[in-house]
Structure 1
Amino acid sequence: MSRSRFIVASVATALTVAATASLGLWQLDRAAQKTALEASIRSRAQLPAWDNHELLAQTDPASGAYRPVRLQGHWLAQHNVFLDNRQMDGRVGFFLVTPLRLSGSDRAVLVQRGWVPRDFNDRLRMPEVATPSGEVTVQGRLAPPPGRLYQFGEAGTGPIRQNIDPVTYRLETGIALLDLSVQQTGDDEGPLRRHWPLPATDVQKHHGYAFQWFALCALVAGLYLWFQIIQPRRQRARLHGPDAR
Structure 2
Amino acid sequence: MPFAFRFRALPFIAAVLVAVIAVLLGNWQQGRAAQKAELQARRAARGAEPPLLLGPAIQPAAPLEFRRVRLQGEFRADWPVFLSNRPMNGQSGFILAMPFKIAGGDSHVLVLRGWLPRQAEYGKLPPFSTPAGLVTLEGQVVSGSGRVMELGGEQALQPGALVQNLAPQDLARAAGLAMQPFLVQQLTPAAPGDELARDWPAPEAGIDKHRGYAFQWYALAAMAILFFVITGFRSGRKHIAGKSD
String of CA shifts for 1:98-129, please: whole Å, max 9, x gaps: 11111111111110011110113232x22111
The CA deviation at 1:155 is 4.1
2:90 corresponds to 1:90: yes
3-state secondary structure, aligned to 2:16? helix
| Paired letter, 1:47 | E
3-state secondary structure, aligned to 2:97? strand
The CA deviation at 1:153 is 2.6
3-state secondary structure, aligned to 1:91? coil
**More divergent stretch after superposition (164-173 vs 26-35):** 164-173
| Aligned counterpart, 2:139 | 140
Partner residue of 2:211 out of 207, 211, 216: 207
| Aligned counterpart, 1:178 | 180
The CA deviation at 1:223 is 1.0
| Aligned counterpart, 2:105 | 105
Higher relative contact order structure (alpha carbons within 8 Å, sequence separation ≥ 6): 2
The CA deviation at 1:140 is 0.7
Task: Label 1:166 to 1:116 Cα distance change in 2 as closer, same or farther (>3 A).
Answer: same
Q: For 2:155 and 2:170, how far apart are their aligned partners in 1?
A: 10
The 5 Å alignment of 1:221-236 reads 221-228=225-232, 230-235=233-238
* Higher share of residues assigned helix: 1
The CA deviation at 1:141 is 0.5
The CA deviation at 1:6 is 1.3
2:38 corresponds to 1:36: yes
What RMSD in Å do the two structures reach over aligned CA positions?
A: 2.5
Q: For 1:31 and 1:108, how far apart are their aligned partners in 2?
A: 35
What number of residue pairs does the alignment pair up? 235
Q: For 2:175 and 2:239, how far apart are their aligned partners in 1?
A: 83
The CA deviation at 1:42 is 0.8
Task: Label 1:85 to 1:191 Cα distance change in 2 as closer, same or farther (>3 A).
Answer: farther
String of CA shifts for 1:61-81, please: whole Å, max 9, x gaps: 443111000111111111111
Task: Label 1:138 to 1:97 Cα distance change in 2 as closer, same or farther (>3 A).
Answer: same
Partner residue of 1:6 out of 4, 8, 12: 8
| Paired letter, 2:18 | T
**Identical pairs, percent:** 34
Q: Is the 8 A contact 2:83 2:97 kept in 1?
A: yes
Q: For 2:239 and 2:169, how far apart are their aligned partners in 1?
A: 74
Q: Is the 8 A contact 2:57 2:107 kept in 1?
A: no
Q: For 1:21 and 1:62, how far apart are their aligned partners in 2?
A: 33
Give me the TM-score of the superposition, normalised by structure 2.
0.86
* Runs of at least 5 residues in structure 1 that lack an aligned partner in the other structure: none
The CA deviation at 1:184 is 0.5
The CA deviation at 1:226 is 0.5
Q: Is the 8 A contact 2:98 2:111 kept in 1?
A: yes
| Paired letter, 2:68 | P
| Paired letter, 1:115 | W
Q: For 1:171 and 1:236, how far apart are their aligned partners in 2?
A: 75
Q: For 2:14 and 2:188, how far apart are their aligned partners in 1?
A: 59
Q: Is the 8 A contact 1:45 1:67 kept in 2?
A: yes
Q: For 2:43 and 2:27, how far apart are their aligned partners in 1?
A: 24
| Aligned counterpart, 1:75 | 75
Task: Label 1:76 to 1:59 Cα distance change in 2 as closer, same or farther (>3 A).
Answer: closer
| Aligned counterpart, 2:3 | none
3-state secondary structure, aligned to 1:31? helix
Q: For 1:115 and 1:130, how far apart are their aligned partners in 2?
A: 13
